[in-house]
Structure 1
Amino acid sequence: MSYKIAVATSNELYVDLHFGAAKFFSIYEVQDNGEFSFLEKRDYDESREGESIDGKPVKTAGCHGSGSGCEQGGCSGGASAKVELISDVRAVIAEKIGFNVTKQLEKKAISSFDVDCSVQEALEKITKYFYSVDNHQRFGR
């Protein structure tokens, strides 16, 4: 069974964007054999914030005074809408993913990975990890 991974990247080469700063996500499809390929780019349209997605109003997540939910000096107001945009993926890869966003992703059973490497390296490692999990193998052997 294939699955999808969303990547926050500005150039398709490096995972170089925080989740909150991403204006789009590159979606990769992973096949049963662990091979992956670019599927599509999903744009986040800030002008649609607050509208409904699949008939449900989108709530936005703001700061809570203590800085939680803030990424790169600003509040992640569109975090919920971004999570809905990629709600069909198995995992999200970004340079940094804040605590509140991680919790929103967990509620949708989406794994999140903070990485500092190339898109290729991140996808190779994460698909290997999921292959091990799916096939009940020890990871790293």
Structure 2
Amino acid sequence: MSYKIAIGSSDGINVDLKFGEVKSFLIYEVDEEAKLIENRKVNDEENNLTEIVCGSTENSNGTGCGGAGGGCGAGSGCGGAGNGCKGPEEVISKVSLISDCRCVVCKKIGFQAQKQFEKKAISVFDVDCTVAEALKKITFYYNKIDNHKSFRKE
């Protein structure tokens, strides 16, 4: 049974992007071995729309999105990374983009994103390693689970 793995990487070598920083996901298909099949880009138009709405006069009271404080245009934004407002719409959009994958692998995946992935039964792996190492370990893990093998050393 083949499955797909989505990976957040800036260079294709290291898993070095947080989920919120990913502009495109490397999509690997795993059958016997992992093979890169696609570079799936995040739709920036939806993300820009969120920023425009949050930066509107309706939200110019300095309270930020949902009253988080600091204001959307204050540099920190609701996303906390200095990228302006990127609320739950961005998370849902990214999760939907890779909803055909069995798991997602990034340097860090926030709580809201983890909850959205959980709803879709997509596993989440926060790792700090190379893409090759992550693929090796995750495919080993799924091979054991899929074939009902013990993780204990024999």
TM value normalised by structure 2: 0.74
Structure 2 counterpart of 1:65: 68
1:107 to 110, 114, 119: 119
Structure 1 counterpart of 2:22: 22
Structure 2 counterpart of 1:85: 97
**Structure 1 spans left out of the alignment, 5+ residues:** 52-61
Secondary structure class of the residue paired with 2:125? strand
1:118 to 116, 130, 135: 130
State the 1:46 CA deviation: 1.6
Alignment-mate amino acid for residue 136 of structure 2: E
RMSD: 2.3
Secondary structure class of the residue paired with 1:27? strand
Alignment-mate amino acid for residue 102 of structure 1: Q
- Counterpart CA distance in 1 for 2:19 and 2:131 is 15
List aligned pairs for 1:38-57, cutoff 5 A.
Answer: 38-49=36-47
Secondary structure class of the residue paired with 2:25? strand
Which has the larger share of helix? 2
Against the structure 1 CA distance between its residues 50 and 83, is the aligned structure 2 distance closer, same or farther, given a 3 Å change threshold? Answer: farther
- Counterpart CA distance in 2 for 1:29 and 1:109 is 18
Alignment-mate amino acid for residue 24 of structure 1: S
Count of aligned pairs between the two proteins: 127
Moved segments of 4+, more than 3 Å: 48-51, 62-66, 69-76
Structure 2 counterpart of 1:58: none
Alignment-mate amino acid for residue 72 of structure 1: A
Max radius of gyration: which structure? 2
Against the structure 1 CA distance between its residues 115 and 131, is the aligned structure 2 distance closer, same or farther, given a 3 Å change threshold? Answer: same
1:4–1:91 contact (8 Å) kept in structure 2? yes
Alignment-mate amino acid for residue 65 of structure 1: A
Identity score, percent: 48
State the 1:98 CA deviation: 0.2
**Structure 2 spans left out of the alignment, 5+ residues:** 50-64, 70-77
TM value normalised by structure 1: 0.81
